[in-house]
Structure 1
Amino acid sequence: MKHFLLLTFLLLGNYLMAQPIDPPYIRIGGTFDTNTNQVVGGTTYTNNSIVWIDCGTSNITVSVPIMGGTYSAYWHSSSNITLTSAGGISFIQTVQLDPNKGDGDIAVVYLAPPASNSSNTMRIYIKQKPSVPSLVTSQVCSGNSATFTATSTYGLQSTKPMSLVWQTTGGAKVNSINNYTQPNVTAGSVTITNSSTGNVSVRAVVPGCSNLQTASTGREVGAPTIKNPNYWLFDPGSNMWQFSQISEYPSTTYAFSVTSGSASVIQNVGDAYITTSGGATICVTGTNSCGSGAPFCFYVPASGGMLKAVSPNPAREDLSVQFNNAEKADLLPSTLLLYQESSTNPIKSISVRNSLENKTLVDRDKIKISVADLPRGVYYLHAIPSRDSKQDIQKVRIVLD
């Protein structure tokens, strides 16, 4: 029985020794004292502490009390922070901070074999840069004004003070000007006036750290504008196009209309799917408490791409290339390239843009390409779209006989 109890005690002891243990604190800074075999000085932080580090600092030393026996300190950090064991001692680490002054975290736990990992850790959060300001605002319609308040969190205001930098565009003004700085504050209020539509933004800047700054927080004022509109071919088979924008829903509602041609529009808040066979002009308008803004209009080309017809095919002397949507210059191909079947270099290059500008298009929608001097065989005509047309390269197989 005694042997059984002793064995049980030893196994329990080994089990307990293998369990992870949380360090009592993480120390930043300090020096290693060879008499006590511990780091002394510096500042200690308990679990989940937020630690503000001067933005001029690139690296720090972190440590936990050194434990005897088989325990080691196992560290990990967020991906933007690098830890390196100092002098081969796992309890002390040299930390390379994020060069972009981004937030990060450092965690540590005591482990002894055979334990290999643990979710029980001592963790601290490193911050160098102020937080992106939050905004408290109200809508400012044309001819009106309102107070905007911005607030940022920053723990080094007493040593490296930050400022709030406001900027406006369009008809918006901040304290009657376009750029306004509130020095040495983490929270501040300004007066925004608006004569039409515009945008207000604010960011935190630390002048004493080479103007270290946060991203901006912004707010549109006045009737809404369509922001970052984009559209592209979603389904070539049905000629369905997708439109997207940066939506301000629910403060802004959106309406789509077909102003020319014929199209089916399936709307999803500020985005839409548009299907057309013959081409159509679509306009989208945003409306908020200040009224409706200026519409954004765009043309969805007809099915069949840029080329309506290439004839005759087979050809002997001339190719006639007819375009869809010739009335829309940005939907015409910029260039036509003719390749032999086995060649990677074009043997003819025709600038459609130059023909359009020189008014040499036949019947306003055709180009003639002479092929009489070319060897007979198989060729490929490539229609290269203009940069902003939202269309793909179109290829047509041509036979010269």
Structure 2
Amino acid sequence: MDLRSHSKPIEEFNFLDPAVLDNPFEYYRAAQEQAPVYLMPETGMYLVSRYEDLRQVLLDTETFSNNLDGYGMLQGENWKVHQGILQERGWPDLPTLNFTDPPVHTRYRRIADSIFNAKRIAAISDRIEELCNLIIDRFIDRGECEFVSEFSFPFVGTIISEQLGLDSEKMSTFKKWGEAIMAPTSRVMTVEELRENAETIVEMQHFIAGKLEERRKEPRNDLISALVSSRGSDGEELDMMELQSFMRQFLSGTYESVVTMISHGMLILLREPGVMEQVATDLSRVPDFVEEALRFDTAVPGLARLVTRDTELAGVHLPAGSIVMTRYAAANRDPAKFDRPDKFDIDRKDKAHLSFGTGPHLCVGRLLARRELVIAFRTLLTRLKDIELARPLPEIAHVPHALLRPMKELPIRFAKADAA
């Protein structure tokens, strides 16, 4: 279907409709053609859908601030209940990397960049590949698997668990924590749901506090030890509240998004058998495949920014206090930037997608994410062949979520590739 024309009126879409969140690209095209900065009546936020407009927002942190309560933005007054529980029994939310702007953000960003650096990521690449093979070993003899729960999640979860000093054998607990972190960003929750969510966060915080103290006494060659030993530009150690904030953001930022990236990548291969054959035949093309997959089906479709002063964007007046939805997934298919944006093109020359953002808030974990993706698909296509969908996907294939786009399931069948 050619999405570059024949868009129905933007007013006929509802951004929060599960069908729109599941397959939003017709909606994005309608916004780009009719209202590139669109006040969504169902959310009260302004959707920014064009590439250059989005870059302007991301680069101008003085006008479009990240200093907002991103976790509790949808919860209104009930969020105080959640925060009260953290205050009483755990550690309250402290903006560090997320939800701050320079110069506060700059201090924390230096620390994060020193941890997620190229040398450290290269040093763990062999272990990432080893874990990838170990996870494939669990299901390869069956000739089928549910790819999201049996590969994407355990692969990413085990890597994060090891690097953050968590017990990778308690994968269900790790999954529960990751989901609890992101749940308030997905929908409006009841007071009771917020209480239960806060209790889960407190449980996670106390476990993390114990691991932090262990690493302070006996450091290891992992990310959590690097975090505990890090110093700000003032030479001061991070206090427990700051450490908890970093750990929460590392867990949320390196978990669901990468699980979704890998799952979307496999879905693309299933729907583009010519691409699968091309990449499997020449594994040097895996990085090209990964970059186009990041553009084509962005794992984090959008985030939010606060308008700090009256301004104008694409001819639309934005009053101070407004919230703009920075829709990366829409910008990555903007026909003004990308030729034939709705076609998956592994030979695409322009790779300047915005899947990891840009500017001061460029994704800290992008090097790790890219390495995980390249190793995952290189290994999968080495060990599996004749990969196909085992059964039709649900009519709504993704979990409805305003900021993320996780798949519900991806059942596949395959044969073992011939030994090299």
TM-score (norm 1): 0.22
* Structure number with larger C-alpha Rg: 1
Structure 1 or 2: larger helix share?
2
Q: Higher RCO, 1 or 2 (CA under 8 Å, sep at least 6)?
A: 2
Q: Name whichever structure is richer in strand by fraction.
A: 1
